[in-house]
Amino acid sequence: MRALFIGGTGTISSAITKQLLEQGCELYLLNRGTRNEALPVGAKILQADINDESKVASLIADLTFDVVADFIAFEPAQLERDYRLFKDKTKQFLFISSASAYQTPLSDYRITEGTPLSNPYWAYSRNKIACEEYLIKQYREHGFPITIVRPSHTYDERSIPLGVHGSKGSWQVAKRMLENKPVIIHGDGTSLWTMTHNTDFAKGFIGLMGNLHAIGESVHITSDETLTWNQIYEAIAAALGVKLQAVHVSSEFLDACSKEDFRGGLLGDKANSVVFDNAKLKRLVPEFVATTRFDQGIKQTVANLLAHPELQKEDHEFDQWCDQVIQVLDTAIQQMNAARI
């Protein structure tokens, strides 16, 4: 199989590229070359910015592909560019959308590919929906061989997956745990969530590549494991070897008092209970099974982070904000208790 990935070094795509190369795939990566240390050995690099359409067209002039996958498109204009570039160059075009495009709030906590797409809270999700609509139009009207893939919360060894963190990533929350400081969990921590290790996601994705039954279809790829946020944070604390000091805070309150985009990422995504039905994926890829349980996967992530200080990006502003939120809540409790006397 000859495949071209636009991107190829991110959380999701890195595991796919690794497994494909191990399987002997002829893999091309269209990449700007700004992270050469992350480029996998064995891949053929087409160095260019995908937004430089004329340069990309010249690089692929003599090439055709079994599969082209775009991991970094977020707006319809980017898919319009992809269509112009690859409409006569590939047997299958895979677009990585997002499970956050599903109806929010949900009318049924069980999510299938038939769940409506609607998210009034997050422009990111609405843009992904618009991208999907554009591609479906090209499939229906011009036979462009699309497959839409919707990941949910997928993680790897480079970052701890969390519900609430700052703009510099999740390490600061782990640092608070290691320092025995309280950490914020949104809501009461009992809403349901699904974490998927990127190696498991890769197995499902590769099973869709070159799969004629996947043409024209939309498919989500997630683990079948359902966790509460309390369980997620407890597993992280256990992997760090500490006792969790949790403070539960309303998601609406967090959104109202933060500079971060908690409206989209929290109210429009992680604050909602989600349980994914992967029956469609398993029909298309009968061998698919997610084998990395979260408590096992997070131990690998934590071990890697502790072994690589360069991944430990501190976020003092977020740390101070957490302290302020917790202090405000403590003060409010004291004032309410005093008022009852």
Tens digits of residue pLDDT in 22-62: 999 999 999 887 665 667 889 999 999 999 999 999 999 99
Cα–Cα distance measured from residue 47 to residue 217, given in angstroms and rounded to the nearest whole number: 30
pLDDT, one tens digit for every residue, the chain (341 residues): 999 999 888 999 999 999 999 999 999 999 887 665 667 889 999 999 999 999 999 999 999 999 999 999 999 999 999 999 999 999 999 999 999 999 998 898 899 999 999 999 999 999 999 999 999 999 999 999 999 999 999 999 999 999 999 999 999 999 999 999 999 999 999 999 999 999 999 999 999 999 999 999 999 999 999 999 999 999 999 999 999 999 999 999 999 998 777 899 999 999 999 999 999 999 999 999 999 999 999 999 999 999 999 999 999 999 999 999 999 999 999 999 988 76
Residue 297 is predicted with a pLDDT of 98
Check the CA dihedral 271-273-275-276 and report its sign.
Answer: negative
DSSP string, 276-302: E--HHHHHHSTT------HHHHHHHHH
Residue 31 is predicted with a pLDDT of 87
Residue 100 has what DSSP assignment?
G
Q: Tell me the chain's radius of gyration from C-alpha atoms.
A: 21
Residue 261 is predicted with a pLDDT of 76
Measure the CA dihedral 79/81/83/89, to 10°.
-130
Cα–Cα distance measured from residue 160 to residue 264, given in angstroms and rounded to the nearest whole number: 19
Cβ contact 232:147 at 8 Å = no
Cβ contact 10:28 at 8 Å = no
Sheet containing 146-151: give its strands across.
44-47, 26-31, 2-6, 67-70, 93-96, 146-151, 217-221
Cβ contact 169:313 at 8 Å = yes
In sequence order, which residues have a C-beta less than 8 Å from that of residue 61 and are 6 or more positions away? none
List, in sequence order, every residue forming a beta bridge with 220; answer none if it has no partner: 150
Residue 340 is predicted with a pLDDT of 77
Three-class DSSP category at 123: helix
Cα–Cα distance measured from residue 98 to residue 144, given in angstroms and rounded to the nearest whole number: 20
Residue 259 is predicted with a pLDDT of 78
Residue 260 is predicted with a pLDDT of 76
Helix-helix angle 198-208:11-22, to 10 degrees: 60
pLDDT tens, position by position, 192-240: 999 999 999 999 999 999 999 999 999 999 999 999 999 999 999 999 9
Three-class DSSP category at 31: strand
Residue 38 is predicted with a pLDDT of 67
Residue with tokens 């996947």: 214
CA 285 to chain centre: 21
The DSSP bridge pattern shows strands 192-193 and 227-228 to be: antiparallel
